[in-house]
Amino acid sequence: MAESAPPSAGPIPLELPAGVHQLCRCGRSRHGWICDGAHLGSGWVSRELRLDQASSVMVCGCGLSHRYPLCDGRHARSAGRRRWWRWWA
Ligand code: FES
């Protein structure tokens, strides 16, 4: 399978209101970064994010993060294998 290029080479800001959010890790959600339960049966689980106040969080646009879908700064390092490139396949 050919690997598609991600839409961004760096982090993407995501504005979220205060509260508990479930972020998509499987790439199947029809609501982008927000989990809609489509991961059921995939072996993946969403990443819970608790915010005390409305915040801008940085999601990974390079496919290298080990904290996906959140950016962990690996976009600034030398090239590596994209861990979750299927997001853009
Ligand atoms: S955008 Fe920062 S680790 Fe991917």
Note whether residue 1 is domain-resident: no
User: Is residue 50 predicted with pLDDT exceeding 80?
Assistant: yes
Note whether residue 52 is domain-resident: yes
Higher-pLDDT residue of 36, 85: 36
Q: Which domain covers residue 62, as residue numbers?
A: 12-88
pLDDT attached to residue 3: 41
User: Which helix or strand (DSSP H or E) is residue 77 part of?
Assistant: none
Q: What percent of the chain has pLDDT over 70?
A: 78
Note whether residue 76 is domain-resident: yes
What domain count does the chain have? 1
Ligand 1 residue neighbourhood (C-beta within 6 Å): 10-11, 60-62, 64-65, 71-75
Q: What is the mean pLDDT of residues 37-64?
A: 92
Task: From the CA of 72, give the closest atom in ligand 1.
Answer: 3
Note whether residue 31 is domain-resident: yes
Note whether residue 4 is domain-resident: no
Determine whether 30 is exposed, middle or buried from the number of CB atoms within 10 Å of its CB (0-12, 13-18, 19+): exposed
Higher-pLDDT residue of 14, 83: 14
